Amino acid sequence: MKKNKKIALITGASRGIGKKIAQELSNNNIIVIGTSTNREGVKKINNMLNKKGYGIILNLNNFCEISQCIKIIYATFKKIDILINSAAIKIDKLFINMSLKEWNTVLKINLTAIFYITQLVVKKMIKKKYGRIITIGSIIGNIGNIGQINYSASKSGIIGFNKTLALEVASKGITANIISPGFIQSGMTKTISKKKKKEFLLKIPVKKFGSKKHISSIILFLISKESSYITGQNIHINGGMYMN
Ligand SMILES: NC(=O)c1ccc[n+]([C@@H]2O[C@H](COP(=O)([O-])OP(=O)(O)OC[C@H]3O[C@@H](n4cnc5c(N)ncnc54)[C@H](OP(=O)(O)O)[C@@H]3O)[C@@H](O)[C@H]2O)c1
């Protein structure tokens, strides 16, 4: 392994937006460690990265597994320069029907696990005086969405988390930003009904869903030298559907 190469950890790299980010970073000479909750996903990541990066099992529902995974990465690669928190889940139900378990599960994976994994990585980044942390948020964290009270709360939660994190690590050479996609063609949006999709398109000024490339291009910029003065931001990529 070349010492000067940057190392990026990307959660949820087996498919969707995380996969695209992994491909782009790998194409840009970065060693990517991508996570999946299962062996099949790890195999897909390894095939995609073709020895220029590696897949590793990680279930964000299990905090011991998070610690173990981070330990293995540091033992093998010695550092993580870039952390991309992309993995997230949704369990959609109307507020009045949502169980405490469904609320807790989504908050645990989409918010608390991000606190936990980021803390483990940031402690080491502080020592190196360098780091880039990017968390994938969602437009739903700003505007809400019927049937997604747990998901929207988790995505709003990371906004406050990211602002405080950015303030606390700004002087250590570490930036922390959120990319908040609107509707992007991917696994998560596949399950939306045709009727709902039509309704959403009416609300998107550019009149189409976004692509994964729209997200990965901004990630490439946020990890570049040129972006070192950008931190604590929530960058929206949504075709004009929501404006800050
Ligand atoms: N797609 C959109 O339009 C859209 C819009 C706004 C925001 N976002 C955000 O963008 C990010 C990626 O979304 P996506 O649509 O690309 O998702 P996706 O296609 O559903 O992929 C989800 C990824 O997360 C991983 N994952 C699922 N549960 C996990 C767990 N318990 N622990 C660790 N990893 C887990 C999956 O890994 P395995 O299945 O391999 O285990 C998979 O790699 C998410 O943060 C999402 O909220 C997406």
64 Cα–ligand 1 center, Å: 21
Per the domain annotation, does 243 fall within a domain?
Answer: no
As given in the structure block, the two tokens for residue 218 are 């901004």
Q: Please identify which residue in the block is written with the tokens 């190469």.
A: 5
Residue-level pLDDT at 216: 98
Paired residues of 99 in beta bridges: none
Q: Please identify which residue in the block is written with the tokens 């889940």.
A: 89
The CB-side HSE value for 141 (13 A sphere, CA atoms) comes to 26
Per the domain annotation, does 126 fall within a domain?
Answer: yes
Query: What does the H/E/C string look like for 87-133?
Result: CCCCCCECHHHCCHHHHHHHHHHHHHHHHHHHHHHHHHHHHHCCEEE
Residue-level pLDDT at 187: 72
Per the domain annotation, does 161 fall within a domain?
Answer: yes
Residue 140's nearest CA partner among 166, 178, 101 is 178
Rg (CA), the chain: 17
Distance, CA of 160 to CA of 139 (rounded, Å): 15
Q: Please identify which residue in the block is written with the tokens 């291009």.
A: 217
Domain span including residue 231: 7-237
Q: Which residue type sits at 182?
A: G
- Categorize the per-residue pLDDT at 1 as very low, low, confident or very high, splitting at 50, 70 and 90: low
155 Cα–ligand 1 center, Å: 13
Any idea what DSSP says for residue 171? G
Per the domain annotation, does 242 fall within a domain?
Answer: no
Per the domain annotation, does 1 fall within a domain?
Answer: no
Q: Which residue type sits at 58?
A: L
101 Cα–ligand 1 center, Å: 20
For 20-41, the pLDDT digits (tens) are: 999 999 999 999 999 999 999 9
Per the domain annotation, does 23 fall within a domain?
Answer: yes
Section 129-133 average pLDDT:
98
Q: State the CATH number of the domain containing residue 63.
A: 3.40.50.720
Per the domain annotation, does 198 fall within a domain?
Answer: yes
Q: Work out the number of other CB atoms within 10 angstroms of the CB of residue 190.
A: 8
For 90-100, the pLDDT digits (tens) are: 999 999 999 99
Q: Which residue type sits at 235?
A: I
Question: Taken in order 35, 178, 224, 74, is the CA torsion positive or negative?
Answer: negative
Domain count of the fold of the chain: 1
Distance, CA of 46 to CA of 34 (rounded, Å): 9
Per the domain annotation, does 102 fall within a domain?
Answer: yes
242 is catalytic: no
For 40-50, the pLDDT digits (tens) are: 999 999 999 99
Distance, CA of 44 to CA of 50 (rounded, Å): 10
Distance, CA of 85 to CA of 158 (rounded, Å): 11
Which of 136, 236, 242 for a ligand 1 pocket mutation test, highest count of atoms within 8 Å of Cβ?
Answer: 136
